[in-house]
Amino acid sequence: MGAPRTTNTEIPLPPRPRPSVNRIAAWSALFVLLTAAIWSVAALEINVASMVRSLDNAANFFSRMFPLDFPPLGELLVMTGQTLAIVIVATVLAVVLSLPVSIFAAANTTSGPVMRGVARTIIVVCRAVPDLIFAIVLFRIFGLGAFPGILALGLHSIGMIGKLYADAIEQMDGGPAEAVRSAGGSRVQWITSTVIPQVMPQLIATALHRFDINLRTSVLLGYVGLGGLGLELANALRTMQYQRGIALALIILLLCIAVEMLSGVIRATLLGRVSTERSGLLGFIDRIAAGWVTAPRGGSEPQRTRHGTMRIAPQWDSERIRRFAGVALTIAVVALATVYADMDFSTLFDDLLALPQVLGMFLPPSPQDLLDVLVEAMLVTIQIGLAATLLGLVLAVPIGILAARNVAPSVGVANLFRTIIVIIRGLPELILAIVFIVITGLGPVPGTLALAIGSVGLLGKLIADSLEETDVRVQDAVRATGATGIQVFFAATLRQTAPQIIAHVLYQLDVNIRSATLLGIVGAGGIGFFLINASRVQEFDVVAFIIAMVIVTVLAVEAVAVWTRRVLR
């Protein structure tokens, strides 16, 4: 009997699943946004030829800014101290207000769907209303001074801090809270004893990050009356005192970079992500932070004394002393900042009584006879945001790749580009916009260029972080097949991070459209120019109409971004 015949038949592969309608729609939306961004760059006439034509203006500007005119040291220290005091108090206020809002907004700590909806609405509204708009309204209610500026910074910060706090609470381990509830603990007891201690490192890290943002924003609010370095910078540039203005801008830049670097290392220490391999300036700051901040660690076994009894309270070891010193120093700094901010509450009661009358000036919103002009200006603002995001992405991709330690040719190259990212992130967009306005003239071009450079800092950092968080096992598997380094990068590393990069770009677009609204107050194009002018001539119904336009636009862009990120996750 012969051997059975074998047939060389192929086993059919299962058909590839058809893409869902939502994914097709999401990719279509991304294609539309990309097309609109390219069109925006062309429509705003941002090209090499226009940059070349501005070289003469740039040379003339740089010749007029030297020698720099720094204020006297005593005056400079007073202005710097006032700025830092305002930012510290505003950030602390935001944290105090955001914590209860985030507890109600988190699904695992809220008291019910109604309160969760209210808390989430507060977070969304605070995110949608830019700091500048809060400041314009509050300065009208309470007058000039530090108090309304602090309120403006604090209220807008709730949008970011509250959301991140709520996300951190939802992601925590629910076991300890369940144990306290099972033992009969009240709601306040299990929240204060289990929820807040678990997420404390994330709470502090988020507050420090917001402090960086508020420091840069305080410069912008100087244009509407907030004191400190921002007000002095605004006055100098309004009177074309470029030597004094650029000197102040340099001081602000150095201050922002120093705060960004120090707070960044403290955040990394709190979250247990400090690198011990860095050298140079970054390594020096690492060592400073490590001396004052204790990284989170796992639970330890209860300690016993030499007599064998159980020790309930922790020992006063070096770690606890450092932690206590850090808390004491923080309380002292906040108290000193509260006093130094020089908030005037003498007319607070009268201002609150006049609140209905002041709000009545803003209602009902009306464009008067400027509807077509305002709609066109809002479209220009959107164009600025789209073009800035595209230009920033083109520059941020190579910088972010070289800043990732698992992709860069060496650790030294990665540290170099990480330092570049930190420096770029320390540049306030307002200062960049002012410099570009002097070079290129008024209009949307300087605002676009300023936001594009600012986008490089944030996008470069997010891209580098995403590349470093990829699964190395996938890369090793591709490398084991004989693939080159470039092939491994495109086939494994970049492919893993593509969804995150898309999410980062959409987030940056959201940020840029908000920022484009603000930069208009210095003549960088868009709706902000009309907003500040209507405020100055006290046409508050027009101000309210512009505020409504901005909020609707921001919410629409954020809704599209959130939906796209969720579908493509």
Is residue 297 over pLDDT 50?
Answer: no
DSSP calls for 259-296: HHHHHHHHHHHHTT---SS--HHHHHHHHHHHHH-PPP
Q: What pLDDT, on a 0 to 100 scale, did the predictor assign at position 552? A: 86
Provide the pLDDT for residue 268. Answer: 67
Q: Give the Cα separation of 508 and 213 in Å (integer).
A: 14
Q: What is the pLDDT of residues 67-115, one digit of tens each?
A: 888 888 888 888 888 888 888 999 999 999 998 898 888 887 887 788 8
Between 220 and 94, the more confident residue is 94
**Minimum mean pLDDT range among 29-38, 225-234, 457-466:** 225-234
Average pLDDT of the chain, as a whole number: 78
φ, ψ for residue 310, nearest 5 deg: -75, 135
Which amino acid belongs to residue 25?
A
Are residues 126 and 152 in contact, defined by beta-carbon separation less than 8 angstroms?
A: no
Q: How confident is the model at residue 298 (pLDDT cuts 50, 70, 90)?
A: very low
Q: Is the pLDDT of residue 310 over 60?
A: no
Which whole-number Å values give the CA distances from 347 to 147, 148, 403, in the listed order?
A: 11, 12, 51
Q: Are 108 and 169 in contact (CB under 8 A)?
A: yes
The pLDDT, as a whole number, for residue 553 is 85
Q: What CATH number was assigned to the domain covering residues 20-53+370-569?
A: 1.10.3720.10
Q: Which of 149-153, 317-321, 530-534 has the lowest mean pLDDT?
A: 317-321
pLDDT value for 328: 83
| pLDDT range class, residue 338, cuts 50, 70, 90 | confident
CATH number of 83-297+317-362: 1.10.3720.10
**Bridge partners (DSSP) listed for residue 310:** 304
CA distances from 455 to 10, 304, 400, 415 (A): 51, 54, 12, 19
Confidence at 330, pLDDT banded by 50, 70, 90? confident
Tokens of 412: 């030294």
Could you tell me which residue, 286 or 198, shows the higher pLDDT? 198
Q: How far apart are CA 27 and CA 417, in angstroms?
A: 31
Q: Show the CA angle centred on residue 434, arms to residues 145 and 71, nearest 5°.
A: 60
CA dist., res. 362 & res. 202, Å (int): 39
Residue type, 278: R
Rounded Cα distance, 295 and 322, in Å: 11
Confidence of residue 410 (pLDDT cuts 50, 70, 90): confident
Judge whether residue 312 has pLDDT over 60.
no
Residues in the chain: 569
- The amino acid sitting at 328 is A
Domain with CATH 1.10.3720.10 in the chain: 20-53+370-569, 83-297+317-362
Q: Residue 270's pLDDT is what?
A: 63
